[in-house]
Amino acid sequence: MRKWVFAFILVILLSYGISQLNVKSAGEDKVNIENGSLPTEDSQVITVGKEQVHQGDLLLVNNDHALHPEGIRSDIVSLSDRQDLVQGFGLLDPAIQLSESVAKDFGEMVKGAKQDGVEHFLINSGYRDAAKQDQLYRDMGHDYALPAYHSEHNLGLSLDIGSTEAKMDDAEEGKWLKKHAWEYGFILRYPKGKEEITGIQYEPWHFRYVGKAHSAIMYHEDLTLEQYLDKLKMAKAMSIKTGGIQYTVAYYPMVGSSATVQVPKGQQYDISGNNYDGVIVTSYV
Ligand SMILES: [Zn+2]
pLDDT number for residue 27 = 43
- Split at pLDDT 50, 70, 90, the class of 143 is confident
For residue 6, being part of any structural domain is answered with no
Show the CA angle centred on residue 225, arms to residues 223 and 231, nearest 5°: 65
- Split at pLDDT 50, 70, 90, the class of 28 is very low
Mean local confidence (pLDDT), 152-169: 97
Domain harbouring 284, CATH code: 3.30.200.180
CA of 76 to the centre of ligand 1 (A): 16
Write down the mean pLDDT value for the chain.
Answer: 90
For residue 281, being part of any structural domain is answered with yes
For residue 1, being part of any structural domain is answered with no
139 with 29, same domain? Answer: no
For residue 9, being part of any structural domain is answered with no
Q: 35 pLDDT exceeds 60? A: yes
Domain closes at, from 176, 209, 242: 209
CA of 33 to the centre of ligand 1 (A): 29
Least confident of 13-17, 18-22, 113-117, 146-150: 18-22
49 with 115, same domain? Answer: no
pLDDT number for residue 17 = 47
Is 203 catalytic? The answer is yes
199 with 78, same domain? Answer: yes
Q: 160 pLDDT exceeds 80? A: yes
187 with 273, same domain? Answer: no
Domain closes at, from 170, 192, 209: 209
User: How many folded domains does the chain comprise?
Assistant: 2
For residue range 205-248, list pLDDT tens digits in order. Answer: 999 999 999 999 999 999 999 999 999 999 999 999 998 999 99
Which of 34, 100, 203, 226 is flagged as catalytic? 203
pLDDT number for residue 21 = 44
Q: What is the 3-state secondary structure (H, E, C) of the chain?
A: CHHHHHHHHHHHHHHHHHHHHCCCEECCEECEEEECCCCHHHEEEEEEEHHHHHCCCCCCCCCCCCCCHHHCCCCEEEHHHCCCCCCCEEECCCCCEEEHHHHHHHHHHHHHHHHCCCCCEEEEECECCHHHHHHHHHHHCCCCCCCCCCCHHHCCCEEEEEECCCCCCCCHHHHHHHHHHHHHCEEECCCCCCHHHHCCCCCCCEEEECCHHHHHHHHHHCCCHHHHHHHHHHHCEEEEEECCEEEEEEEEECECCEEEEEEECCCCEEEEECCCCEEEEEEEC
For 233, the domain range is 21-58+212-285
CA of 178 to the centre of ligand 1 (A): 15
CA of 13 to the centre of ligand 1 (A): 42
CA of 199 to the centre of ligand 1 (A): 13
